[in-house]
Chains A and B, each alone.
Chain A
Amino acid sequence: MKLNLKIWRQQDSESKGGFENYVIDDITPDMSFLEMMDVLNQKLIYENIDPISFDHDCREGICGSCSLFINGRAHGPDKGITTCQLHMRKFKDGDSIVIEPFRAKSFPIIKDLVVDRSAFDRIQHSGGYISINTSGNTQDANTTPIRKEDADNAFDAATCIGCGACVATCKNASAMLYVSAKVSQFSYLPQGKVEAKERVLNMVKQMDDEGFGNCTNTGACEVECPKGISIKNIARMNREFYKAKI
């Protein structure tokens, strides 16, 4: 396959960025999208051009590092996957592909396609935990039975990989899906009840302080979420929030 690539390049957070065009040959349908990027980067290195920086690590859709906005979609044109799980068979010979970083005010660009998502970490610092210390004598794991349905719901919320696709795809750059996934996970579990109030208030406050937008119920985040986190979690977080406010 031959492809025309239009890729965002930016030296650092201070510089002005812009699109560069690259043409690449010899791409096979079995390659993953990031392997296509590898091939391009190798080509650039041999031409003594700085390769394109992008975040990636596990390359199996679980670490949440990769974060490309491909042809106007977070993680590209396929459902339920991260960029590293996207394969070139989703494209045709001669296609033009536009590759951008995840764009949001709260995700400043570090270089090229690499963005700073530490705002997500800071939201977790503000309450994404249960306050227990490590000890060899916490109560036995089976002391408190948890309904299978609740455990499954908690798990579904907990599968969020923190990639930021929800923010990148949201017209308001809202982080509601991300924050609600954590709030929701703990709200299903008895362990999470003790600090439920402070958790939701603090996490929402931090989310606002980081400059993320509000939710206007478009649902784009749910569509693009590689792990299929449901917007029901946002509704649940809102309930938790109102409960805590009253």
Chain B
Amino acid sequence: MGLYLTEKHIKYKDGKDDHVSPFFIYHNNNKRAKFFCSLKVNNKNWCFDKKRVKSTDKESGIKNRKIKTIKSQLESIISSFETKKEPLSPEKLKSEFETVKLLDSEIKKVKTKPTINSKIPNGPLSSKWESHKGSINLVSPSNKRNIDIIVVGTGLAGASASATLAELGYNVKAFCFQDSPRRAHSIAAQGGINASKNYQGDGDSDYRLFYDTIKGGDYRSREANVYRLAEVSGNIIDQCVAQGVPFARDYGGLLDNRSFGGVQVSRTFYAKGQTGQQLLLGAYSAMNRQIARGKIEMFSRHEMMDLVKVDGKARGIIARNHVTGKLERFSAHAVVIASGGYGNIFYLSTNAMGSNVTASWKIHKKGAYFANPCFTQIHPTCIPVSGDYQSKLTLMSESLRNDGRIWVPKDLTDAKLVQEGKLSPLDIKEEDRDYYLERRYPAFGNLVPRDIASRAAKERCDNGFGVNKTGEAVYLDFSHAIIRYGKEKALLNGQDENNIEIVKKLGREIIKQKYGNLFQMYEKIVDEDPYVMPMKIYPAVHYTMGGVWVDYNLMTTIPGCFAIGEANFSDHGANRLGASALMQGLADGYFVLPYTIGDYLSDDISTGKISTDIKEFEESEKGVNDLLTKLISNKGKNSVDYYHKKLGKIMWNKCGMSRNQNDLVDAINEIKKLRNDFYKNVNVTGKITEYNEELAKAVRVADFLELGELFAKDALERNESCGGHFREEYQTKDGEAIRDDKNFKFVSAWEYVGEPSDAKLHKEDLKYEEIEVKTRSYK
């Protein structure tokens, strides 16, 4: 078989111009079946030269990609018919393909000019933030009292923003779906928070933190935002210490640091393996102070269901009270989305059970662009999946890679025996182990960035070297560190450093001090002692770099609607470095948004209270009510989890650690089908006006089912491999990513226009003024 893209000149009766249209010829068993793409465009610019649009054409790049996309979609349809051994006629092909619709939407896209303005201040990088702060509009203290701000989400970003905005004098209404703001999933962050304090004197600086973050993000993040992040990182530590956050200290009483992946300095501040918890409790305490003062009104067990726009501006939300099940209206002069990432689209992830995309997706549907949805972080060190009933995955902190060494057996027969449970890792000799990260990346070894470590694990496992019964696990081994620390301690204690039992005992104590809670967590879940047996780990979805598009002021494309923390996209590019999520959440909430929001609100000082008894609120509430009614009265045959699990499988298998064109096209179609089935056959038990977790879940899953499609489309259109986005078509012979800076050095900002896969692409070109764009290498 074969499929050829050719060209044809057509003269329509009504027009005088020559029209050029592409069409495809499909060959099967030497029979030629013609398939005509009726590209009904009266556009002279469409000229073809050997299957390519001429480079002189202004839009040639885009058009060529369209043609390639169309071709690949056709190929995938044909190959699916071939595997099913069904005869394929041009008519069938045509109906499958929905040519006209697809081409129409493609063409509209070509005509649309980019409409996004990132509002990056002028001037040299190092003074942009300072001069911007000095020149933006302020709101006077007496006027702040008359301004309301809604903050959705109370993780690090939301809690720190709520507290700081209230301190400044604004009236804050904060929302979380959990029973208390302290339970937001930032609490589960383990390893630490980066800051360029250079307390260790190892050459750290704002520039180096900035550089590492841009490089770690594979040159897909916005330079000015990242520099600002590095600049304020030190203030975060000062602020947290002042709040009484008990960071780890050394014996001199000063703050201790450790090292994380992708960097060569020690800049990570930590509180054992519970850094996120301590930072969140710090921000929560700052909120509590403002709640006591009446400056924050806290709405726990409330979930945002929709954004309300009045005259194009964000003016409020509709929230569902989880206890009563009732919908409630809230108005404000600005709405801040701090609802975190969408990793739960994969069903299995390290996110909390309730983490969801609903707030971000609802604002997307109301006009906020969604950026780089396909940039997802798969964390290399998580406890592997053990069964179908599994509800979530547990992370083992990246800090473990400071001391743990990752390996699999060198020999396939050994790996087989291990998988069958016939061989213990302890019986595999040193020379028969493949420390593949140290082998492939000698400069960074086990501390390569997360995307690289994850892919390397997948590569070994895909080749049959996995070490558990499913073949999807690698070892993280502390035996060397135990011996190393043990010998050191034995020397200090004056004990026999050659007595292996003494050395092991001492070494284990040191490891326990450093990672005790993580080891305990592992043992509880896996029921194996990680001090003796190497840990088994496998990559799992952990963080989403993509998110709502925001400008330098953290405002979305909806005036008055802001997005901060993991919910936005700006700072981590295509891959986030360890211990940078906490930094970004707190930077946005404590030090960036409270300034930049004033610039917008300065126009609102005489607006006065916004009534919720207006038609915009009414309509929005009705929309939500209709959706809830539809879900609850559907009484189909499948549970909400059934759909969530199915979606997760599609996402993991086709949009996971490595992606290819065919899979992504399949994913779009499968998700679409699944979504239709969901609305037909989902069964949501209970009533609307009661505590109903199934209904809350159903709304979240409905939004994931839409986001999934956009996610796959974004991955399909990004024809390059960068950071967490690895396209199999774009790799070197030894499996390293090939990034395409010429064609893809941009942020994909998607505008919602109806069906998720019809979304309109806007590109924000990424300009790097102070940094040389290089191929990322950790070798």
Contact = CB atoms under 8 A, between A and B. Distances in A.
Interface of A: 11-12, 28, 30-32, 34-35, 38-39, 42, 44-46, 48-51, 53, 55-65, 78, 80-81, 85, 87, 89, 110-111, 114, 116-118, 120-121, 124-126, 128-142, 145-148, 151-152, 154-155, 158-159, 161-162, 185-186, 188-189, 191-192
Complex A-B, nearest 10 residue pairs according to Cβ-Cβ distance, in ascending order: A145-B253, A129-B285, A155-B246, A141-B241, A154-B246, A111-B691, A57-B352, A134-B164, A129-B289, A151-B249
Nearest to A89: B527
A128 B288 contact: yes
A91 to B, nearest CB: 14
Contacts of A185: 244, 246
Contact of B246 (A12, A78, A151, A162): A151
A156 B668 CA distance: 49
Q: Which of A34, A116, A138 has most B Cβ within 10 Å?
A: A138
Contacts of A42: 639, 641
A141 B197 contact: yes
Nearest to B686: A50
A138 B239 contact: yes
A87 B323 contact: no
Contacts of B298: 121
B33 to A, nearest CB: 46
Contacts of B391: 32, 34-35, 38, 59
B179 A55 contact: yes
A149 B160 CA distance: 28
A227 to B, nearest CB: 9
Nearest to B253: A145
Q: Is the interface of A mostly helix, strand, loop or mixed?
A: loop
B600 interface: no
A16 B199 CA distance: 60
Interface residues of B, number: 80
A110 B691 contact: yes
A142 B183 contact: no
B28 interface: no
B345 interface: no
Nearest to A52: B693
A142 B199 contact: yes
16 contacts: A12-B691, A30-B527, A35-B389, A53-B691, A62-B274, A63-B183, A85-B524, A124-B284, A128-B288, A129-B285, A141-B238, A142-B197, A142-B199, A148-B249, A154-B246, A159-B277
Contacts of A51: 685, 693-694
A189 B239 CA distance: 15
Contact of B639 (A45, A55, A148, A162): A45
Most chain A CB within 10 A, of B180, B354, B686, is at: B180
Contacts of A124: 284-285, 288
Given A42-B639, A46-B639, A129-B285, A58 B244 contact: no
A151 B245 CA distance: 9
Given A58-B187, A146-B253, A155-B246, A138 B521 contact: no
B389 A39 contact: yes
B241 A131 contact: no
Interface of B: 160, 163-164, 167, 178-185, 187-188, 197, 199, 232, 235, 237-244, 246-255, 271-272, 274, 277-278, 281, 284-286, 288-289, 291-292, 298, 300, 323, 352-354, 386-387, 389-392, 394-395, 520-521, 524-525, 527, 590-591, 594, 639, 641, 683, 685-686, 690-691, 693-694
A24 to B, nearest CB: 12
A63 B188 contact: yes
Given A57-B354, A59-B391, A133 B167 contact: yes
Contacts of B180: 64, 117-118, 120-121, 162
A62 B387 contact: no
A56 B353 contact: yes
B695 to A, nearest CB: 11
A142 B254 contact: yes
Nearest to A192: B244
A45 B686 CA distance: 10
A134 B353 contact: no
A89 B526 CA distance: 11
A46 B690 CA distance: 20
B300 to A, nearest CB: 7
Given A57-B183, A142-B255, A35 B390 contact: yes
Contacts of B289: 129, 131
A57 B247 contact: no
A58 B350 CA distance: 8
Contacts of A151: 246-249, 253
A118 B389 contact: no
A62 B395 CA distance: 12
Contacts of A161: 277
A158 B183 contact: no
Contacts of B184: 63
B113 to A, nearest CB: 38
B641 A155 contact: no
Contacts of A48: 683, 685
A44 B694 CA distance: 12
A110 B285 CA distance: 25
Nearest to A191: B244
Contact of A63 (B185, B235, B251, B694): B185
A30 B386 contact: yes
B250 A148 contact: yes
Given A116-B179, A120-B180, A145-B253, A62 B187 contact: yes
A189 B353 CA distance: 35
A170 to B, nearest CB: 20
B241 to A, nearest CB: 4
B288 A129 contact: yes
A122 to B, nearest CB: 9
Contact of A186 (B183, B244, B691): B244
A38 B348 CA distance: 14
Nearest to A30: B386
A30 to B, nearest CB: 5
Contact of B254 (A87, A132, A145): A145
Nearest to B690: A12
A117 B178 CA distance: 11
Nearest to A47: B685
A132 B243 contact: yes
A128 B178 CA distance: 20
